[in-house]
Chains A and B, each alone.
Chain A
Amino acid sequence: MDNFNIAGKTFSSRLIVGTGKYSSPSVMVKAHEASGADMITVAVRRVNISDRTKESLLDYIDTSKYFLLPNTAGCYTADEAIRTARLGREAGLSNWVKLEVIGDERTLFPDNEELLVATRTLVKEGFVVLPYTNDDPVICRKLEEAGAAAVMPLGAPIGSGLGIQNVNNIRIIREFARVPLIVDAGVGTASDAALAMELGADGVLMNTAIAGAQDAVAMAEAMKLAVRAGRLAYLAGRIPRKAYATASSPVEGLVGR
């Protein structure tokens, strides 16, 4: 089996999916099933004190089946992210965190300096830190040196659906990284996920591409197949690119020559 290991934990699927922006909880549940994912991301937010009628996300997630990965989405400083990670650990009773420290509101690009500071602190506190980062091989290397359990470069801005914008950087990050490489954010459709895997990513993390699709459940299945296909193609080893044709059929024994 081609299992996916992060920090000593084994996952059967290389697709990690989110829980945000679904049209309804039941669509989310079906999409999660169709995706085949066994790790799903969640956000940490204040409980609504004045309106306690709202159902809890956890009513819809079978935590015996799915591993929860709390994120620090929306945090703009290392301090906020560290605080949120600590709260997420107590809410979910696991020491894993998808670490996001955002540096810009319009692009949601990460703040590298704050991300490094938060990674160092949380690693010291015993967290398994999975940082969402720029598609920059140097910052990925620094995060790895800081003790990150994986590096998660973006393919494109969060929720943009633009696909992998800097294929060469992802390839270089693959070459550099000694920890799992997960392409996180920017996927729009199945071929984007397949490309990430063909470049050698160990996994792909996505939310909007599935949740925002017209048929989220069908897209979840498409992503499952794409991640699998891309992984197999990577392991199989593709043929070199050539400028000219090479015949597939014999050139000898042609009738009439």
Chain B
Amino acid sequence: MKIVLNGDPFELAGPRTISVLLSELDIDARRVAVEHNLTVLKRAAFETTEIREGDQVEIVNFVGGG
């Protein structure tokens, strides 16, 4: 199934939670924030929020800035 991840098309084998996606991408959940279909998720919701066909997911972290 196709989703849009950080602005780019991304292929997933099927629906899965944010937590599963993060671990598949080898991303430490404690260091990122996630937006799912324009809603910013609380960290506790990573386990329960399911990604489906066509969803938009943004995963951000902190980088250097002023």
Contacts and interface: CB of A to CB of B under 8 A. Distances in A.
Whether chain B is bound by chain A comes out as yes
A90 B66 contact: no
Interface in B1-53: 5-8, 10, 25-28, 31-35, 38, 40-43
Interface residues of A, number: 37
A58 B25 contact: no
Interface in A180-236: 185, 205-208
A134 interface: no
Contacts of A207: 65-66
B31 A58 contact: yes
Contacts of A42: 62-65
Interface in A15-51: 18-22, 28, 41-47, 49
Nearest to B40: A86
A243 interface: no
Nearest to B5: A49
Contacts of A28: 64
A118 to B, nearest CB: 15
A45 B66 contact: no
A73 interface: yes
A43 B59 contact: no
Contacts, number: 107
Contacts of B26: 52
Contacts of A49: 5-6, 8, 10, 25, 59
What bracket does the count of chain B residues touching chain A fall in? Answer: 20 to 34
A45 B59 CA distance: 8
A103 interface: no
Which secondary structure dominates where chain A touches chain B? mixed
Given A41-B66, A46-B6, A49-B6, A83 B61 contact: no
A70 interface: yes
A190 to B, nearest CB: 18
A90 B41 contact: yes
Interface of B: 5-8, 10, 25-28, 31-35, 38, 40-43, 58-66
Interface of A: 18-22, 28, 41-47, 49, 52, 56-58, 68, 70-71, 73, 83, 86-92, 158-159, 185, 205-208
26 contacts: A18-B65, A18-B66, A19-B63, A19-B65, A20-B66, A42-B64, A43-B66, A44-B33, A45-B61, A46-B58, A47-B6, A47-B59, A49-B5, A49-B6, A49-B8, A52-B27, A56-B61, A57-B63, A58-B62, A73-B66, A83-B38, A86-B40, A90-B33, A90-B34, A159-B66, A207-B66
